[in-house]
Amino acid sequence: MSDWISLAAGQSYPAGTLYIVATPIGNVADLSLRALHVLGLADAIACEDTRNTGQLLSRVGLQRPLVAVHEHNEREAAGRIVQRLAAGERIAYVSDAGTPGISDPGARLVEAARAAGLPVVPLPGPSAAVAALSVAGEMLDTGAGRFTFVGFLPSKAKARAEAIATLAALDHAWVLYEAPHRIAETLAALAAGLPAARRLLIGRELTKLFEETPVMTVAEAPAWLAAEATRAKGEFVLVVEGAAGTAHIGAPDAEAQRVLALLLAELPAKRAAKLAAAITGADTDALYKLALAQRGGD
């Protein structure tokens, strides 16, 4: 193996700079070589939760002074960090997991450093949204590769249903984050608010031991979650197909879906879709897409 320190250190990391460092979303080995190098170089590491970051550092054999910067003290803490940066220190900022600022704190600190004329440098790395999108396949073809990052939907049922109704019209894919205690409600709300054949990628426990990324229709998702009691435990990122994925071909109705499911149990996806289309009059392409989605969710 080549000397990783020289790979990561072959770039200058000026003093008086705020480094925004992405950290793993599960598997500690996803910490990049540059992230490791800069965390080791930092005079202090500002973080969302000192215990959490302390654990990460001890796993990679680093010890650095930690400063808590979370959503409740970000403004005041940012002021103190800006003073330290102005005095020539290197400060790294990490959130609990993934990329800071993406459904995580970090924005105020970045603004404060920039307003003080201090350099802010990103060290890219893991993010649950990008990881899920990278395996979303053709869902990204709808809307010519565009996607909308939504983050967490509103927690109140009415506001959540309204948000889904608005998002339903997007021609391209959209990405949601969801916590374990709300995943069942959110999957039910998606099933209720979107056409039954709309495809959904469920990124569960990415990079962890029980990682899975099944693709299914929104109509199937609540039953998938309920099928195993442990499923609701875990972290979830969802990629919902854009309206262009199914709208123009007309979603197969419940009868067509039932016939397809029966045939799929016995036949390859293409053959099952063709026969289901002949029997029910539904669109072959739509049925084939559905068949592939169901196979992916097996």
Q: Which of 36, 39, 46, 129 binds ligand SAM (CB under 6 A)?
A: 129
Residue 35 makes contact with ligand SAM by CB under 6 A:
no
Residue 174 makes contact with ligand SAM by CB under 6 A:
no
C-beta closer to ligand SAM: residue 74 or 104: 104
Question: φ and ψ at 148, to 5 degrees?
Answer: -115, 130
Residue 205 makes contact with ligand SAM by CB under 6 A:
yes
Residue nearest to ligand SAM (CB): 98
Angle between helices 284-297 and 269-280 (to 10 degrees): 140
Residue 147 makes contact with ligand SAM by CB under 6 A:
no
Could you give the C-alpha distances from 105 to 52, 69, 81, 150, 239, in angstroms and in order? 15, 8, 15, 16, 23
Residue 93 makes contact with ligand SAM by CB under 6 A:
no
C-beta closer to ligand SAM: residue 39 or 129: 129
Minimum CB–partner distance for residue 61 and ligand SAM (Å) = 23
């009868």: which residue's tokens? Answer: 255
Q: Which of 53, 95, 213, 246 binds ligand SAM (CB under 6 A)?
A: 95
Residue 48 makes contact with ligand SAM by CB under 6 A:
no
Dihedral of CA atoms 177, 182, 183, 185 in degrees, nearest 10, equals -120
Question: φ and ψ at 188, to 5 degrees?
Answer: -65, -40
Q: Minimal CA–CA distance to 177: which of 93, 102, 70, 125?
A: 102
Which long-range CB contacts under 8 A does 153-156 form with residues at least 24 apart?
A: 153/178, 153/186, 153/189, 155/182
Restricting to residues 229-248, which ones interact with ligand SAM according to CB under 6 A? 235-237
Residue 274 makes contact with ligand SAM by CB under 6 A:
no
Helix (H) or strand (E) holding 225: helix 221-226
Could you give the C-alpha distances from 266 to 20, 263, 272, 275, 294, in angstroms and in order? 52, 5, 8, 12, 13
Q: Minimal CA–CA distance to 277: which of 241, 296, 253?
A: 253
Minimum CB–partner distance for residue 289 and ligand SAM (Å) = 25
CA 220 distance to own-chain centroid: 21
Residue 275 makes contact with ligand SAM by CB under 6 A:
no
The contact pattern for ligand SAM, residues 100-119, with x = CB under 6 A and - = no contact, is --xxx---------------
C-beta closer to ligand SAM: residue 25 or 243: 25
Residue 251, classified by CB atoms within 10 Å of its CB into exposed (0-12), middle (13-18) or buried (19+), is: buried
Residue 179 makes contact with ligand SAM by CB under 6 A:
yes
Q: Which of 90, 108, 112, 127 binds ligand SAM (CB under 6 A)?
A: 127
C-beta closer to ligand SAM: residue 127 or 257: 127
Q: What residues have CB less than 8 Å from 183, skipping those under 6 apart?
A: 225, 232, 236
Minimum CB–partner distance for residue 70 and ligand SAM (Å) = 11
Residue 293 makes contact with ligand SAM by CB under 6 A:
no
* Chain residues that interact with ligand SAM, rule: CB under 6 A: 25-26, 95, 97-99, 102-104, 127-129, 177-179, 203, 205-208, 235-237
